[in-house]
């Protein structure tokens, strides 16, 4: 899909992004399956936070906390929200350090997709953040899975609905002919991948 539906120039991040988050959520559900029940449609709040994150409330509200940085643009803001939207498809309360290569790689790939293929007016392609190379490595690992089967996430979520809980056994059961070792690479914590990359 290619569209420049945003209808804004590459200007400092604005409240206008909030209007397009439901469209991005709809696309995430089309590609990777429906959001689990028990949570409201995510909303967006702009704050001077060091990193974007998801805020979960006891009443089922989900808030995507996006960074308010003058130098950021609407295109970058939308792609940043896209990353967090993947985490709202099936949120859970495990420590952040256990976040898997599969979930973070998928979030980064969806971020790239929205930035490069929907925001057609953006000047530069998505390149990730130079301080966090593990996310690009995770994205490449997930892309290998999606090249094997573009509906892989939907099929895996039939086995385990929560993306962050999908383990190597689930992956091997659904895709027994995957490249040897890929299931383990996808299921490992991103924090482990980060440590491994530091020692390469």
DSSP 63-109: EEEEE--TT-BHHHHHHHHHHHHHHHHS---S-GGG-BHHHHHHHHH
Q: 128: how many CB neighbours lie within 10 A of its CB?
A: 15
* Of 134, 108, 107, nearest in space to 190 by CA: 134
Q: Is 98 exposed, middle or buried (0-12, 13-18, 19+ CB in 10 A)?
A: middle
* Of 81, 82, 151, 84, nearest in space to 110 by CA: 82
pTM of the model: 0.84
pLDDT tens digits along 90-144: 987 765 557 899 999 999 999 999 888 877 655 555 666 666 889 999 999 999 9
- Evaluate if residue 6 carries a pLDDT over 70: no
Angle at 164 between CA 86 and CA 186, to 5 degrees: 100
φ, ψ for residue 55, nearest 5 deg: -105, 120
Mean pLDDT (the chain, rounded): 82
Instruction: Give the C-alpha separation, 21 to 84, whole Å.
Output: 11
**Token digits for 127?**
């390149």
pLDDT tens digits along 151-173: 999 999 999 999 999 999 999 99
- Evaluate if residue 146 carries a pLDDT over 60: yes
* Of 63, 50, 51, nearest in space to 91 by CA: 63
* Of 139, 126, 118, nearest in space to 17 by CA: 118
More confident: 147 or 50: 147
**Exposure string for 153-185, b = 16+ CB within 10 A, e = fewer:** beebbeebeebbbbbbebbeebbeebeeebbeb
In terms of residues, how long is the chain? 200
pLDDT of residue 71: 42
- Evaluate if residue 48 carries a pLDDT over 70: yes
pLDDT of residue 2: 38
């Amino acid at each position: 899909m290619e569209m420049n539906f945003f209808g804004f120039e590459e200007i400092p991040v604005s409240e206008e992004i909030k209007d397009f988050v439901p469209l991005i959520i709809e696309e995430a559900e089309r590609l990777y399956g429906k959001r689990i029940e028990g949570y409201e449609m995510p909303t967006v709040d702009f704050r001077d936070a060091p990193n974007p994150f998801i805020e979960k409330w006891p009443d089922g509200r989900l808030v995507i906390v996006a960074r308010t940085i003058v130098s950021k643009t609407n295109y970058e803001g939308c792609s940043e929200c896209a990353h967090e939207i993947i985490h709202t498809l099936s949120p859970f309360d495990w420590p952040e350090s256990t976040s898997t290569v599969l979930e973070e790689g998928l979030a980064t790939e969806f971020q790239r997709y929205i930035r490069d293929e929907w925001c057609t007016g953006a000047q530069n392609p998505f390149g990730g953040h130079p301080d966090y190379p593990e996310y690009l490595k995770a994205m490449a690992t997930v892309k290998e899975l999606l090249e094997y089967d573009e509906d892989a996430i939907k099929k895996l979520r039939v086995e385990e609905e929560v993306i962050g809980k999908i383990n190597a056994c689930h992956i091997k059961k659904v895709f027994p002919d995957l490249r040897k070792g890929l299931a383990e690479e996808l299921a490992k914590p991103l924090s482990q991948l980060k440590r491994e990359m530091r020692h390469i």
